[in-house]
Structure 1
Amino acid sequence: MNIAYGIVAGLLALFCFYAGTLKVTRTRDRLRPMMAWVDHMPLPAVRALGTVEILGATGLILPPLTGIAPSLAPAAAIGFVLLQTGAITVHLIGEDRRIALNAGLTVTAAVTIWLATGM
């Protein structure tokens, strides 16, 4: 795993693992101050998104680190681009214009794809 990929993917994975863990473990009331959109989605969908984030974070780190199925790393990064594109859409439909974090995560995931395919 090259150093640039390790840093970028590691930071993206860390953030997504943390956010996914919150979505899986916290109640809707405890998520609401950070994620206003949770009121517009069923709780099982929020939990599923959290699970996808945790699995994606694992997919960014473990395959390149272990050398087992390294093609899963760019697939996980592509999944994060799609996830964040959907998140931006949900924010804009809900008339929430705070999408800077999601845009930044989209760019970070796109850079991760580029770095993963260059390994």
Structure 2
Amino acid sequence: MNLLLFAMFALLIFMMVRKQKKTKAAAEEQRAKLAPGVEMMTNFGLFGKVISIDEAENKIVLEISPGTTATVHRQTVAKIIAPEEVTAVVPDDASSLTLGKNEQAEETPEESIERLNNENNKDN
């Protein structure tokens, strides 16, 4: 019984140390990504671009809108927002502009009128 209790206690301590290492590694990674020009979000939901970082005072100056800055503590950084790359797929030929085998052409004006009349008759 004592051996089982000791094993559970050791497992608990191991899990706590492991979690601390992961948290520390995540903080280091975030600290490495933090630089002027990076978009970030604070713990209280303020989004902005990093203008400057004061290492001695642990302060970050954020530009929250053009011409408006806010100074926040370095520990308020919740996440670094990675810029999304927009990849536009441009076909190299005009084949995508034509209808495929399974696609239908748009209906003619006469077919549209007939369809709408049939839909109206169903309601009555």
Q: TM-score, normalising length from structure 2?
A: 0.27
Higher strand share: 2
Which of the pair has more CA radius of gyration? 2
Higher helix share: 1
Higher RCO, 1 or 2 (CA under 8 Å, sep at least 6)? Answer: 1
Q: TM-score, normalising length from structure 1?
A: 0.28
